[in-house]
Structure 1
Amino acid sequence: MPKTLPIIDMNAPVCCSPVAAQPLDDVAALEVALRLKALADPMRVRLLSLILTCENDQHPTTGALAAIVGLAESTVSHHLGQLRTAGLIASDRRGMTVHHIARRDALAALRDVLDPHCCEC
């Protein structure tokens, strides 16, 4: 019989102790792994980078991102859905377009879980 995985609220930033602080339990490890899995695709990393580097708070649309990366909107929409499910981006529908915003709090929380001393240099 397959093991049933716990339900994880992916909308909230990951909030377990740092990986190096103590051994993670199964739920905490799953919480981190699901978010990293969303980033384990080069196109998703590129899309996240494009969203993070938009100038003047101009949140890009699915169509604009698709044009930049040279993929169909449906493919880009799928990748964005994976990032959204992992809680790394949020999407805001405005009429017929969907604008995407990086969830910097979730990204900072993930960074802190992986290495709380990351940016102390």
Structure 2
Amino acid sequence: MSKSQESLTDGDACCPPGALLREPLTAADAADMAVKLKALADPVRLQLFSAIASHAGGEACVCDISADIEVSQPTISHHLKVLRDAGLLTSQRRASWVYYAVVPDALASLAVLFGIDAAAGVSA
């Protein structure tokens, strides 16, 4: 496996931007990335992901991000579960609230795939 392909699965963001655009993905890496891209392809999920990623500290309580989303709370929970299952978010229960955070390695692998600098986005 090449260094750029290892970075996709290991979350190592040290390889140069666009490295994956210069060599083909393995079947396993493509399948993993497709799950992430499919999860982000839904407008509500993309909006939730963006709200969490841009929130102060890189994490947000569901109560902080659901007010601006025009779907029911159960629907928001479903979309957050899809993002978690895709490996894009982590969650942690604190008392009666659940806090979500973007997985830095997932964000880094997306950044490498698209040839952008992950350091310009969410910090770990």
Q: Same fold (TM over 0.5)?
A: yes
CA contact (8 A) 1:14 1:31 kept: no
Cα deviation 1:25-84 (Å, max 9, x = unaligned): 3222111111111110111111111111112x2732223322221321111111111111
Relative distance call for 1:58 and 1:36 in structure 2 (3 A) is: closer
Structure 1 residue 15 and structure 2 residue 15: aligned? no
Runs of 4+ off more than 4 Å = none
Aligned length: 104
Relative distance call for 1:104 and 1:58 in structure 2 (3 A) is: closer
What amino acid is aligned across from residue 15 of structure 1 in structure 2?
Answer: T
Structure 1 residue 113 and structure 2 residue 107: aligned? no
What amino acid is aligned across from residue 95 of structure 1 in structure 2?
Answer: A
Aligned to 1:59: 59
Local SS of the residue matching 2:99: strand
What amino acid is aligned across from residue 23 of structure 1 in structure 2?
Answer: P
- Once the two structures are overlaid, the 10-residue window that deviates more, 85-94 or 67-76, is 67-76
Counterpart CA distance in 2 for 1:49 and 1:111 is: 14
TM-score, scaled to structure 2: 0.71
Fraction of identical pairs, as percent? 34
Larger radius of gyration: 1
Structure 1 residue 39 and structure 2 residue 40: aligned? yes
Relative distance call for 1:41 and 1:63 in structure 2 (3 A) is: same
What amino acid is aligned across from residue 105 of structure 2 in structure 1?
Answer: D
- Structure 2 gaps, min length 5: 1-6, 118-124
Local SS of the residue matching 1:47: helix
Counterpart CA distance in 2 for 1:83 and 1:14 is: 18
Local SS of the residue matching 1:45: helix
Relative distance call for 1:109 and 1:69 in structure 2 (3 A) is: same
Counterpart CA distance in 2 for 1:107 and 1:58 is: 12
| Structure having the larger proportion of residues in helix | 2
TM-score, scaled to structure 1: 0.72
Root-mean-square deviation over aligned CA pairs: 2.3
CA contact (8 A) 1:38 1:83 kept: yes
